[in-house]
Amino acid sequence: MASKETTQRRAQRIRRQIKAVANGRLRLSVYRSSKNIHAQIIDDAKGHTVASASSLEKDLKGSLKTGADTAAAAAVGKLVAERAAKAGVTEVVFDRGPYIYHGRVKALADAAREAGLSF
């Protein structure tokens, strides 16, 4: 298992690469815990969050079996894409953080794409 320092270094490396190719696009950042998943669309230039969604939200929590499966990740991806569209965001760069693009992270990304986000 990777140490906390190794995980943070990996996340910083990914973010540095993403910011280099972003060309002013906002960043869709994913946080995955053992029980839940969260997604934020972040404007790095201004330093604030434009839209966010989580498997902990009341409207999602009631309809999900658990917050730690691909169905929950897909629901969060769809919700964050809808909220981004309301905020006028259509193009983002995907920040997977220290996580492998597989399973829940991939499910969230695919659902966000299907709901209208472009990355």
Is the model's pLDDT at 36 over the cut of 90?
A: yes
d(CA 38, CA 52): 8
Backbone φ and ψ for 99, nearest 5 degrees, come out as -95, 150
How is residue 15 annotated by DSSP? H
Write down the pLDDT at residue 94: 97
User: In which band, very low, low, confident or very high, does the pLDDT at 62 lie, cut at 50, 70 and 90?
Assistant: confident
Average pLDDT over residues 10-29: 93
Dump pLDDT digits (tens) for 68-110.
999 999 999 999 999 999 999 999 999 999 999 999 999 999 9
Pairing state of beta strands 26-32 and 48-54?
Answer: unpaired
Is the model's pLDDT at 2 over the cut of 90?
A: no
Q: What is the pTM of this model?
A: 0.92
Average pLDDT over residues 6-16: 94
Is the model's pLDDT at 51 over the cut of 80?
A: yes
Backbone φ and ψ for 48, nearest 5 degrees, come out as -140, 165
User: In which band, very low, low, confident or very high, does the pLDDT at 11 lie, cut at 50, 70 and 90?
Assistant: very high
Contact (Cβ atoms closer than 8 angstroms) between residue 110 and residue 103: no
